[in-house]
Amino acid sequence: MANTKDVIKGEEVTLEIQPGMNILEVNKKLAQKNMELLRKHNVKAIDIMGSIGAGKTCLIEKLVQALKQKYRIAVFKGDLTTTIDAERIRRHGVQVITINTGRECHLDANVVARAVERISLEAIDLLIIENVGNLICPAEFPLGTDKRVVVVSVTEGPYMVVKHPFTFMNADVMVINKKDLAETMKIDTKQLEKQVKEIKPDVKVAVTNALSGEGVEELIKALEL
Ligand SMILES: Nc1nc2c(ncn2[C@@H]2O[C@H](COP(=O)(O)OP(=O)(O)OP(=O)(O)O)[C@@H](O)[C@H]2O)c(=O)[nH]1
Ligand SMILES: [Mg+2]
């Protein structure tokens, strides 16, 4: 079970917002501060976004397994109320902090700053953040990471890219996951790749099976890790 120190509850979180301040602007400033702090300590950080069940946690497990010899890793896991994913990731021997957001459908730079206070930045080189499962809300709230990843799975159908352009405009890497189910779902991953490149020409794309680990090396390259 998680130590209570490893769980941050949504109700503890307060954003210091003055009347008239724009919440997105405040978040941007806090994200900048997070980025400066992480860079000062040479910690690379990655924000992993994507819809519910797209395979974010499975991919993080595979990334941790592949990278834990090379980097000292910590993971922040955003979830409404549970610590289920945190337990899954913790099995791989890395420090995990759960950020329970309550009713919020995304993490923000403020809660991430709170979580950063609970880890020793001297003791890590890589911070992986699993955002709350949602393809829309997290995009508007940068956290101060070096890279932003959007995970989609072929089981979400053929239109998730064209229907959510704003999410992909903010992404450095798109993962098309569950490639083992592409044929059954009649999804052409090349078509999804073409669509995302029309929205964000420099986005990198990795096509993965997060259960077998196929494509994870491609993802690691796309993340420049
Ligand atoms: N067939 C197949 N199943 C997968 C793959 N990746 C993940 N799954 C399954 O999809 C389900 C959801 O995977 P998770 O990793 O929990 O997804 P998630 O995005 O973290 O979900 P939330 O945190 O709830 O938003 C699980 O049952 C996984 O076993 C894949 O590449 N292929
Ligand atoms: Mg998850």
In a domain, 104, yes or no: yes
In a domain, 111, yes or no: yes
9 Cα: distance to centroid of ligand 2 (angstroms):
17
Q: 34 lies in which domain range?
A: 4-11+22-222
In a domain, 90, yes or no: yes
> Residue 167 is which amino acid?
T
Integer-rounded Cα radius of gyration of the chain: 17
In a domain, 52, yes or no: yes
Q: Check if 58 has its Cβ closer than 6 Å to any atom of ligand 1.
A: yes
Task: Indicate which CATH number applies to the domain containing 141.
Answer: 3.40.50.300
Q: Residue 204: CB partners within 8 Å, gap ≥ 6? A: 172, 173, 174, 222
In a domain, 96, yes or no: yes
Q: Check if 90 has its Cβ closer than 6 Å to any atom of ligand 1.
A: no
Closest CA to 63 of 173, 205, 201, 216: 216
Q: List phi, psi (to 5°) of 199.
A: -85, -40
User: Of 49, 58, 180, 209, which is best to mutate to test ligand 1, by the most ligand atoms within 8 angstroms of its C-beta?
Assistant: 58
Q: Check if 57 has its Cβ closer than 6 Å to any atom of ligand 1.
A: yes
In a domain, 160, yes or no: yes
**Number of domains the chain is built from:** 1
190 Cα: distance to centroid of ligand 1 (angstroms):
21
**Dihedral angle of Cα 8, 12, 13, 17, to the nearest 10 degrees:** -170
In a domain, 16, yes or no: no
63 Cα: distance to centroid of ligand 2 (angstroms):
14
User: What tens-digit pLDDT sequence spans the chain (225 residues)?
Assistant: 555 566 666 544 444 556 666 888 889 999 999 999 999 999 999 999 999 999 999 999 999 999 999 999 999 998 887 888 899 999 999 999 988 888 888 999 999 999 999 999 999 999 999 999 898 889 999 999 999 999 999 999 999 999 999 999 989 999 999 999 999 999 999 999 999 999 999 999 999 999 999 999 999 999 999
Q: Check if 47 has its Cβ closer than 6 Å to any atom of ligand 1.
A: no
